[in-house]
Amino acid sequence: MWFWILFFLWTLLPVWRQQWLHMQRLRAIRQLEKRRGTRVITLIHRQETISFLGLPLRNYISIDDSEQVLRAIRLTPDHMPIDLILHTPGGLVLASEQIARALDRHPAKVTVFVPHYAMSGGTMIALAADEIVMDDNAVLGPVDPQLGQYPAASLLEVVANKPIAEIRDETLILVDMARKAQMQVERFVVERLRDKMPLERAEELAKILSSGRWTHDYPITVEQLVEFGLPVRVGLPVEVYELMDLYPQPAQRRPTVQYIPAPYDGPARGGRPR
């Protein structure tokens, strides 16, 4: 009898833990909203253990995300600023563009906080913000479109360096799609930037970000973003870091990173946890 009771409680433990995390996250979000007088929306994609069997699930920007973010924006008064906490490897272009356009249309100030990284579609969303606030080690990324496993820019290089007669029809179809995708993303970026900088500079930067100059996972640092003329500054509120702590990675048998989780003060050798 006791075995089955313990087994039942053990199976429910992940559900209870996830519910507790959910309530802690809502509490942290509300505290940040009260301090800044804003609507806080999170778009955080991490690998989490949330299932009954403890299987990790990896997330990305999806249509479900865009539906939820758009609903949150609709529930926000026009006069109220929006803070979006963004932590994502990217995802669907359609969903990313929907979110970015909705943020762009919001009349009040939109601030995007990037504690670690916002790559690909995450960068497209960040470009719609009036201000991008980042950790000094956080990065954005290129927005060059990807067609399955192939970068659009690399497909265009194929037809530029190989006779058409030697290229398969399927590849030529992909190349046509790649050309269209690159043109569409470039135009989208120009639309997001033209109110933040001169049109000529916006077109130049859109080409840099979407043309495949770098690999798709290239980290664009704060220093580079400032050089580009984007509205970027360093200095995240401490509440953003505290909220990120409530999105833990799944527990592993052997941790790959370990440290004493406390801030240190004093010289490097004599410092002690506070």
pLDDT digit string, tens, across residues 139-194: 999 999 999 888 999 999 988 888 988 889 899 999 999 999 999 999 999 999 99
The neighbour count for residue 141, using CB atoms within 10 Å, is: 24
Domains and CATH numbers, the chain: 2-141+219-251 (3.90.226.10)
Q: Which amino acid is at 174?
A: L
pLDDT band at 267 (very low <50, low <70, confident <90, very high): low
pLDDT for res 3: 62
pLDDT for res 257: 72
> Above 90 in pLDDT, residue 5?
no
Q: Locate 210 and state its tokens.
A: 């979407």
What's the average model confidence in pLDDT over 48-67?
67
> Above 50 in pLDDT, residue 110?
yes
pLDDT for res 52: 42
Q: Cα(125)–Cα(45) distance, rounded to whole angstroms? A: 14
Please list, in sequence order, all residues whose beta carbon lies within 8 angstroms of the beta carbon of residue 140, skipping any fewer than 6 positions away: 114, 117, 118, 119, 122, 123, 126, 132, 219, 220, 225
- Report the range of poorest mean pLDDT among 44-58, 185-199, 226-240: 44-58
Please list, in sequence order, all residues whose beta carbon lies within 8 angstroms of the beta carbon of residue 112, skipping any fewer than 6 positions away: 83, 84, 86, 118, 125, 126, 128, 129, 131, 132, 133
pLDDT for res 260: 75
What's the average model confidence in pLDDT over 117-134?
97
